[in-house]
């Protein structure tokens, strides 16, 4: 890291130190959104780390955003903290890259300051990862579009007043390619019904099922050109994979720190349990796996910032980071023995949250399909 990058890491870590294990344990138990934490992040200007300076952002790259998000997760906030601000970091990039000057001036400063809260609606119940088959429709009407459909796993919709949503504007059978005819809109969310989905972890940052009925969206809320929404989404996929990777690695490091402390202090049969290779080796292996995944994640970030292709590295980093983070959390629970199952030691929360990066935003199997096809040149399997 450069001195400036180290300053970012240290600055974020210092801010996060004000939100201790008790704070995150309460958010997990009550499901109350970490408003104080997000407000502190916004007040520090961190939400605009990767946004252009022209709209009040820091104008930095994916590398700096990754440093920031890893520091959040590693502080003990885990995905409860990271997911509370994750979308703000690269979620608005379609507006940055493809929006009008007016859209950028109007919307981005409000997101950076925390005045507006956005959610991102892509996945649907019947299409999953097959975005080209989504069923939400946007019909052209006078002055704009009329949207109807459903979305699922939309994070943060309960508190969001804005939504970035993709919908089909041209029927699939009328397009040369299935990925054509999809359009992206950034519009008001209030008139969309959002129903939270009960889930195993990260209770404070909810996911939702959205029900969209005859939602009028003004023509000015269209991002870029109609029919090119899918291509706009692609520009944000690699950064998102990198951020998920470093967040999972940060969570794994937090778990590893808890486990090593416990293994040094816990004495059984007259010796610290960390003196036993059965406890020590899994933790040492997790350290190695986390470090290796971290190197690949920051290689992907560096390639992205240099304007080079980073698809293989970003996908592989997300795969390896998620697996290494999960294994570290599992090893930490086991190292704690029965106390690993107790909420007061926090590692059971880490373990539950570690599942998120293994599933979202893309499955392990689809990542392996991508690498097999795009890197190894093997026939497409799906």
The answer on 249 and 371 residing in a single domain is yes
Last residue of a domain, one of 113, 144, 171: 113
Asked whether residue 381 is assigned to any structural domain, the reply reads no
Q: What is the pLDDT of residue 111?
A: 96
The answer on 78 and 175 residing in a single domain is no
The answer on 133 and 105 residing in a single domain is no
Asked whether residue 66 is assigned to any structural domain, the reply reads yes
Q: Is the pLDDT of residue 14 over 90?
A: yes
Residues in the chain: 382
Question: pLDDT-derived band of residue 382, with 50, 70 and 90 as boundaries?
Answer: confident
The answer on 37 and 125 residing in a single domain is no
Instruction: State the chain's mean pLDDT as an integer.
Output: 97
Q: Which residues pair with 228 in a beta bridge?
A: 182
At 125, which CATH number? 2.40.110.10
**Which residue carries 């195993």 as its tokens?**
200
Q: Is the pLDDT of residue 228 over 90?
A: yes
Asked whether residue 285 is assigned to any structural domain, the reply reads yes
Last residue of a domain, one of 212, 227, 242: 227
Average pLDDT for 28-51: 97
Asked whether residue 188 is assigned to any structural domain, the reply reads yes
Alpha helices (runs of H) in 35-163, residue ranges in sequence order: 35-43, 62-72, 78-90, 93-98, 101-113
Average pLDDT for 199-222: 97
Q: 148 φ, ψ to 5°?
A: -145, 135
Q: Is the pLDDT of residue 128 over 90?
A: no
Question: In which domain, by residue range, is 88 found?
Answer: 3-113
Last residue of a domain, one of 227, 261, 282: 227
Residue 250 · residue 72 · CB < 8 Å: yes
Asked whether residue 246 is assigned to any structural domain, the reply reads yes
Question: pLDDT-derived band of residue 326, with 50, 70 and 90 as boundaries?
Answer: very high
At 41, which CATH number? 1.10.540.10
Question: pLDDT-derived band of residue 133, with 50, 70 and 90 as boundaries?
Answer: very high
Closest listed residue to residue 149, CA positions, set 182, 116, 198, 103: 182
Q: Are strands 207-218 and 144-155 parallel, antiparallel or unpaired?
A: antiparallel
Asked whether residue 380 is assigned to any structural domain, the reply reads no
The answer on 198 and 64 residing in a single domain is no
Angle CA 267–271–277, to nearest 5: 105
Q: Is the pLDDT of residue 335 over 90?
A: yes
Question: pLDDT-derived band of residue 129, with 50, 70 and 90 as boundaries?
Answer: confident
Residue 238 · residue 310 · CB < 8 Å: yes
The answer on 129 and 102 residing in a single domain is no
Q: 329 φ, ψ to 5°?
A: -65, -40
| End-to-end alpha carbon distance in the chain | 40
Asked whether residue 245 is assigned to any structural domain, the reply reads yes
Q: Is the pLDDT of residue 272 over 90?
A: yes
The answer on 263 and 150 residing in a single domain is no
The answer on 180 and 127 residing in a single domain is yes
The answer on 257 and 217 residing in a single domain is no
Q: Are strands 222-223 and 182-188 parallel, antiparallel or unpaired?
A: antiparallel
Asked whether residue 312 is assigned to any structural domain, the reply reads yes
Q: What is the pLDDT of residue 234?
A: 86
Q: What is the pLDDT of residue 235?
A: 84
Q: What is the pLDDT of residue 182?
A: 98
Count the domains in the chain.
3
The answer on 335 and 240 residing in a single domain is yes
Q: E-assigned strands of the chain?
A: 118-121, 137-141, 144-155, 162-168, 182-188, 193-196, 207-218, 222-223, 267-268, 271-272
For residues 329 and 355, what is the distance between their CA atoms, to the nearest angstrom?
10
């Amino acid at each position: 890291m450069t001195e400036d990058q180290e300053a970012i890491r240290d600055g974020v870590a210092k801010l996060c130190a004000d939100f201790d294990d008790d704070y995150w344990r309460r958010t997990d138990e009550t499901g109350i959104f970490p408003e104080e934490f997000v407000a502190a992040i916004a007040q520090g200007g961190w939400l605009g780390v990767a946004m252009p300076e022209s709209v009040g952002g820091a104008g930095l790259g994916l590398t700096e955003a990754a440093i920031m998000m890893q520091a959040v997760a590693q502080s003990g906030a885990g995905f409860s903290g990271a997911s509370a601000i994750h979308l703000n970091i690269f979620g608005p990039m379609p507006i940055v890259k493809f929006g009008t000057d007016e859209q950028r001036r109007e919307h981005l400063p409000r997101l950076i300051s925390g005045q507006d809260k956005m959610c991102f609606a892509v996945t649907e119940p019947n299409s999953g990862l097959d975005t080209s088959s989504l069923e939400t429709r946007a019909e052209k009407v006078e002055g704009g579009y009329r949207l109807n459909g459903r979305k699922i796993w939309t994070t943060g919709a309960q508190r969001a007043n804005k939504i970035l949503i993709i919908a089909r504007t041209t029927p699939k059978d009328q397009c040369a390619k299935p990925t054509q005819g999809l359009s992206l809109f950034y519009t008001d969310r209030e008139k969309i019904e959002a129903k939270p989905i009960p889930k195993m972890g990260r209770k404070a940052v909810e996911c939702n099922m959205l029900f969209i009925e005859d939602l009028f969206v003004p023509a000015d809320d269209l991002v870029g050109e109609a029919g090119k929404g899918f291509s706009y989404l692609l520009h944000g996929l690699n950064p998102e994979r990198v951020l998920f990777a470093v967040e999972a690695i940060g969570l794994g490091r937090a778990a590893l720190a808890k486990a090593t402390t416990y293994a040094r202090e816990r004495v059984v049969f007259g010796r610290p349990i960390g003196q036993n290779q059965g406890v020590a080796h899994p933790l040492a292996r997790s350290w190695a796996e986390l470090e290796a995944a971290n190197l690949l994640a920051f290689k992907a970030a560096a390639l992205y910032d240099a304007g080079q292709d980073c698809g293989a590295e970003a996908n592989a980093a997300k795969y390896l980071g998620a697996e290494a983070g999960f294994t570290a959390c599992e090893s930490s629970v086991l190292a704690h023995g029965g106390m690993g199952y107790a909420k007061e030691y926090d590692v059971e929360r880490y373990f539950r949250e570690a599942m998120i990066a293994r599933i979202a935003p893309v499955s392990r199997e689809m990542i392996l399909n991508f690498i097999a096809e795009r890197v190894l040149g093997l026939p497409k399997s799906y």
